[in-house]
Each structure stands twice: as structure tokens, then as C-alpha cells.
């Protein structure tokens, strides 16, 4: 099997590439930088940018399946950059798949495509794309998902996965940022922290991608469809955050601020960054505030039914593995 993974410098992409190599695939990576650890175990790197149509076309030659996870992430940046990378970049991937006869496309989407101003309580894939996206990332991921799913037909089968808050040992985003801010003494809950949120342990997110590819090849049940992927264990935000911190023997988050104050602070921070054209992400954005105060958990029945997905690593086991990564023997 010849597999191409875009975005393997990211946490999920790297873990997926590693698993594909372990199962014996010929694995190529398309990204802007190198991945020395993956290259050392057999991955081939095609360096390039999603905005370069020809580079994408070259990288997909000979692939049986493309796992497209590369994207511009985060809550800050110019709308043009998000559009160029997330939307047009996905269009380039789809076009390259068709030109080069790639048979399967597994698109890594995001649960944020349905996240707007309302809480999400156990929603399933019937939930519409939000018309009130609070970030360019969410807006463009929704557009990119449409592109990937609309491509399904003829000789190309596609599916979109929506993993939510992926975490685990080595995670530089959720875990890395949280630990850094706690050590700086700059973490506070927004509200009471009792809003329920879903998360996904890294191994489960990888399992979902492997299963999606296998099911795309086996039958048409998941062709052209999106699927929420989580651990299926929604927890109050405060409980999840403090459990992660306890795994690293770090102090629990005890202080809190009101949502109204946090939203005002975020609005001011965004305004300052726009005024002075600062490229760095503000310390707080309105999208992040909304994520911190809203409930967002999802029904994964469709993934269980159509993909055979079952979260193999519980949050409890994941936290134990996280603790072991903080304090190796």
C-alpha cells in the first residue's frame, strides 16, 4: 500500500504516518519541513506548500490513498492565508488525486465546522455547518470539508473525519500550551468549568483514520460522509483540565473569571493585534473564550456503525500514559 500523508509535522499527522509505517505501507509525506524521526524509519518527504498546485500533484503520484490533514490552524491570521491553505489547498489535493488516479481520500476535518454561538449537546452529523463561525479556521475547514466530500464519485472515494481536541503524550497544542501557561501562572477557568466537552486520545484518532481508509476500500457505506470522532466520554472542562495537570503533578486550576470579562479582554487583545498588525496570536481570542464556556460534545454512533470505530484507549488509560510520559522510568 502506498500512502501519502499531508501535514505529518503536526501531532496527529505524525502519529498517523508512524502507524502506517508500522503496518508496512510505503509512506510519503507532503509538508514544508522535514520529519527526521519519520524519515529514519522509512518515510519519504516531499517538501512543498499546499498553495503550489504542481508540488501537490507531484507528491500524490503513485499513491493509493491520501490522508489530507495539513492545514493552517489556530485562531489568528489573515483570512486570505486560511482560504489559500485550507480551501484552495484542499482543492489542489482533490485535483491531484483525480489526475494521478488516487482511489481514496481521507480528509481530516474538525468538529469546529459546526461550532458557533450555541452549545453543542450530543449533536450528530445532521447538524448543519455553522453560519456563525467565530474563527477563520472554523470557517475554512467547513469549506474544505465540503470540497473533500463533493469530490467523492467516479474513481475517487472520500470521507471526512472530525476529531475533537486530540491529545496525548507529546501533544504540543492542548497539553503543551496548557502546561506552559500553568507554569507561567496564567491559566484561569472561564466560568465555573462545568460545561461538558469531548476530547480524543491520539491513538483513537489514528485508529479512526485507518478504519476510514479500510472502509472506503471495502464498500460505499461511508463514501462522501463526515464523521465525528471522540473518546465518547464527555467531561466537565475543569475535570479534564485538572486531570491532565495532575498527570504532570502540576497545580490544579482554581481561579476563574467571568465569561463577560474574558470576552471583553479577548476583544481588546484582538483589536490591539490588528491595530499594530502583530503576527503572533493574541493571548486570548473570542473563539477560545467561547470554546472555554460552551458545551461541545458529540454523538459518535455513526462512526461506530459505519467505520467500526470504538475508542480503544479510555481517558483514564490515556491519562496514565500521559503521566508515564512526564515521568519516564
Write out the catalytic residue numbers: 137
Q: Distance between alpha carbon 174 and the CA centroid of its chain, in Å?
A: 11
CB of 29 within 8 A of CB of 46? yes
Q: Phi and psi of 242, rounded to 5°?
A: -70, -30
- Please classify residue 321 by burial: count the beta carbons closer than 10 Å to its beta carbon, then call 0-12 exposed, 13-18 middle and 19+ buried: middle
Q: List, in order, residues 6 or more apart from 155 with CB less than 8 Å away.
A: 98, 101, 103
- C-alpha–C-alpha distance, residues 205 and 38, integer Å: 19
Q: Which helix (H) or strand (E) holds 140?
A: helix 136-150
- C-alpha–C-alpha distance, residues 216 and 224, integer Å: 10
HSE, side-chain direction, 13 A CA sphere, residue 41: 14
DSSP 273-306: HHHTT--SPPS--HHHHHHHHS-EEE--HHIIII
HSE, side-chain direction, 13 A CA sphere, residue 131: 1
Tell me the torsion sign for CA atoms 88, 90, 93, 98: negative
Q: Distance between alpha carbon 243 and the CA centroid of its chain, in Å?
A: 21
Amino acid at each position: 500500500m502506498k500512502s501519502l500523508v499531508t501535514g505529518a509535522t503536526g501531532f496527529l499527522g505524525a502519529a498517523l504516518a508512524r502507524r502506517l509505517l508500522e503496518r508496512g505501507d510505503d509512506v510519503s509525506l507532503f509538508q514544508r519541513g522535514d520529519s527526521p524521526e519519520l524519515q529514519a524509519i522509512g518515510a519519504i518527504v516531499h517538501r512543498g506548500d499546499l498553495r503550489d498546485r504542481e508540488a501537490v500533484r507531484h507528491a500524490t503520484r503513485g499513491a493509493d490513498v491520501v490522508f489530507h490533514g495539513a492545514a493552517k490552524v489556530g485562531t489568528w491570521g489573515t483570512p486570505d492565508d486560511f482560504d489559500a491553505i485550507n480551501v484552495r489547498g484542499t482543492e489542489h489535493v482533490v485535483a491531484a488525486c483525480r489526475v494521478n488516479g488516487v482511489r481514496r481520500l481521507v480528509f481530516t476535518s474538525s468538529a469546529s465546522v459546526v461550532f458557533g454561538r450555541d452549545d453543542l449537546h450530543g449533536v450528530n452529523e445532521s447538524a448543519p455547518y455553522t453560519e456563525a463561525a467565530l474563527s477563520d479556521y472554523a470557517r475554512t475547514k467547513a469549506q474544505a470539508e465540503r470540497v473533500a466530500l463533493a469530490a467523492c464519485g467516479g474513481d475517487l472515494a472520500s470521507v471526512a473525519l472530525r476529531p475533537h481536541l486530540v491529545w496525548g503524550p507529546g501533544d504540543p497544542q492542548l497539553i503543551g500550551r496548557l502546561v506552559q501557561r500553568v507554569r507561567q501562572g496564567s491559566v484561569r477557568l472561564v466560568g465555573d468549568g462545568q460545561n461538558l466537552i469531548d476530547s480524543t486520545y491520539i491513538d483513537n484518532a489514528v485508529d479512526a483514520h485507518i478504519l476510514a481508509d479500510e472502509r472506503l476500500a471495502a464498500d460505499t457505506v461511508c463514501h462522501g460522509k463526515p464523521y465525528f470522532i471522540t473518546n465518547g466520554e464527555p467531561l466537565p472542562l475543569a475535570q479534564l483540565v485538572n486531570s491532565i495537570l495532575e498527570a504532570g503533578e502540576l497545580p490544579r486550576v482554581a481561579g476563574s473569571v467571568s465569561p463577560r470579562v474574558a470576552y471583553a479582554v479577548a476583544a481588546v487583545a484582538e483589536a490591539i493585534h490588528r491595530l499594530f498588525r502583530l503576527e503572533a496570536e493574541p493571548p486570548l481570542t473570542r473563539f477560545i473564550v467561547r470554546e472555554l464556556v460552551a458545551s461541545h460534545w458529540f454523538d459518535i454512533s455513526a462512526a461506530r456503525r459505519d467505520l467500526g470505530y470504538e475508542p480503544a484507549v479510555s481517558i483514564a488509560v490515556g491519562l496514565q500514559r500521559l503521566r508515564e510520559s512526564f515521568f519516564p522510568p
